[in-house]
Each structure stands twice: as C-alpha cells, then as structure tokens.
C-alpha cells in the first residue's frame, strides 16, 4: 500500500511543532530552548516535541556541549513546509487571519537558503525582464546572456551544477503569490548578499535586514529597480 502520510502530516499538525519547523525554515540551527521560546511552550514540552520530530526524521540534531542544535533534515522537508504554507495561505479557512504579515517579513526574508519576499520576487522578475532567465511555465533556466552575466559577477556555474539540486528553481512565495528564485543559484545569491555585507539576518526571525548602501549595491549588481519605499529594516 501507499506509505503512511498521516505520520508526517500528524507531525506537522500541531501548533507547537509547526512553529518550530517554521522557525527552522530560516535554515539556521536552533537550540531546544530557542525553539521552546519560539513555540511559546515550556522546555519539557519542547523536548517531547523535538524528540518526535527527530524520531520522525523531519529534523536532525547535533549535540554541542550542553546545547542541542536542531535543523531541518533535508531540503525536501523545507519544500514540503513551503508548499503547506502556500496552500494554507491560499485557502481562506476561518481560523487563519489572511491579513498582511509583518511588513519586514514581506519585504525581504530568508526561505531556507535563498531570498524571498518582495525583494526576492522583484529580483526574479527583474532577471526575467532582462532576459537573463527564461521561464517556461514552471521551468526556469538561464539564458545565454544569463550564463554570461552570472559568470561575470563571479559565479562558478559548472561548480554549482555539480550539485544534485537544480540550478534554478521557481519557488512560489506565500506572501507575494509570485515566484522567486530558489535552487543552487538562489542559494548563491543569498550567500553573496551576506558575504558582501549588504544585509544581515535577523536573529529572531527570517527577516533579512538590508543596509541602505547594501540595497543600493544589490540593485546595481542585478540592475534591479526597486520601488522607493524604504526596504531597509535597520541602518
């Protein structure tokens, strides 16, 4: 028979656990107490939940001294969470307030290992407009110019292509309902932003705080015209 999907679904069907999982969607490894705080439960309860999530192989755990760091087990888990987010945000079921989320979160946030939110969506469509990227419905590929462009700014595409994961992937944004860039290249872009010091990650959320000058450099590099609203959260 079919595998038992209720097992995985049940693991995600709890407020506390789903909050933890969503917090881990930032890609950062978090400790048990941090996750307990995030889910607003006591350490005991969190411990029980976390052991279930590890047991169920949704999380991996790394022990470091007296701390235990938890992370999502795989990209697949992150993708499942994203698709759940998507479907959930689309559905207008009574309990979920469909209202606008934290504006900073909408602006720019980390989606596991790549850039999401308005900035992520904006970048994606800017790349499309410049014909560096082609989008055939769901399939996204670099154009010839795109290959040249990213090679020029220092991406080793042949190296990235060695990875199992796709180079480009269209990831549907739950706040924007439009696609943004995921995949190995999406990861590279986020890493680059951080390496350049254009933005810093919020410690307590998935928010990505762009510095003013960083946003400018970012726009320049990707020839990306952003609306004039303040996109920076700090500085």
Note the residues at the interface with a second copy (CB under 8 A). Answer: 1-10, 12-15, 18, 22, 55-57, 76-77, 79-81, 83-93, 95-98, 101-102, 136-141, 161, 164-169, 174, 183
Are 231 and 198 in contact by the 8 Å Cβ rule? The answer is: no
Of residues 103 and 197, the one with the C-beta less far from a second copy:
103
Binding of residue 47 to DNA (CB under 7 A): yes
CA-to-CA distance for 234 and 208, rounded, in angstroms? 10
Binding of residue 68 to DNA (CB under 7 A): yes
Binding-site size, DNA (CB under 7 A): 23
Q: Which does 128 bind (CB under 5 to 8 A by kind): a second copy, DNA, none?
A: none
Taken as a whole, the chain contains a residue count of 235
CA distances from 14 to 38, 50, 192 (A): 14, 12, 35
Binding of residue 16 to DNA (CB under 7 A): yes
Tokens read off for 222: 């990707």
Q: How far is the CB of 38 from DNA (least distance, A)?
A: 12
Q: Which does 41 bind (CB under 5 to 8 A by kind): a second copy, DNA, none?
A: DNA
Q: Which does 45 bind (CB under 5 to 8 A by kind): DNA, a second copy, none?
A: DNA
CA-to-CA distance for 62 and 28, rounded, in angstroms? 12
CA distances from 143 to 3, 70, 93, 149 (A): 40, 38, 41, 9
Binding of residue 23 to DNA (CB under 7 A): no
Binding of residue 33 to DNA (CB under 7 A): yes
Of residues 60 and 128, the one with the C-beta less far from DNA:
60
Q: Which does 66 bind (CB under 5 to 8 A by kind): DNA, a second copy, none?
A: DNA
Binding of residue 50 to DNA (CB under 7 A): yes
Are 199 and 214 in contact by the 8 Å Cβ rule? The answer is: yes
Q: Which does 153 bind (CB under 5 to 8 A by kind): a second copy, DNA, none?
A: none
Of residues 61 and 101, the one with the C-beta less far from DNA:
61
121: closest CA among 206, 180, 209?
Answer: 180
CB-based contacts of 78-84 (< 8 A; 24+ apart in sequence) = 78/25, 78/27, 78/112, 80/8, 81/12, 81/21, 81/22, 81/25, 82/25, 82/111, 82/112, 82/171, 82/172, 82/174, 84/12
Of residues 25 and 215, the one with the C-beta less far from a second copy:
25
Of residues 91 and 152, the one with the C-beta less far from a second copy:
91
């Amino acid at each position: 028979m079919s595998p038992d999907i209720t097992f995985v679904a049940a693991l995600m069907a709890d407020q506390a656990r789903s909050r933890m999982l969503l917090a881990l969607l930032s890609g950062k490894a978090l400790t048990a107490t941090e996750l307990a705080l995030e889910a607003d439960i006591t350490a005991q309860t969190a411990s029980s939940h976390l052991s279930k999530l590890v047991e169920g192989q949704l999380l991996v755990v790394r022990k470091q001294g007296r701390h235990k760091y938890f992370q999502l087990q795989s990209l697949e888990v992150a993708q499942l969470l994203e698709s759940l987010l998507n479907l959930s945000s689309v559905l207008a079921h009574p309990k979920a307030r469909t209202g606008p989320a934290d504006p900073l979160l909408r602006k720019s946030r980390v989606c596991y290992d790549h850039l999401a939110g308005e900035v992520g969506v904006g970048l994606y469509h800017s790349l499309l407009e410049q014909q560096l990227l082609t989008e055939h419905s769901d399939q996204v590929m670099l154009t010839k110019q795109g290959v040249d462009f990213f090679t020029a700014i220092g991406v080793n595409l042949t190296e990235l292509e060695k990875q199992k994961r796709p180079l480009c992937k269209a990831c549907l944004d739950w706040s924007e309902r439009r696609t943004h860039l995921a995949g190995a290249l999406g990861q590279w872009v986020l890493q680059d932003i951080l390496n350049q010091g254009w933005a810093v990650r919020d410690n307590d959320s998935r928010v990505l705080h762009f510095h003013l000058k960083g946003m400018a450099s970012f726009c320049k590099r990707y020839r990306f015209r952003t609306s004039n609203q303040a996109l920076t959260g700090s500085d």
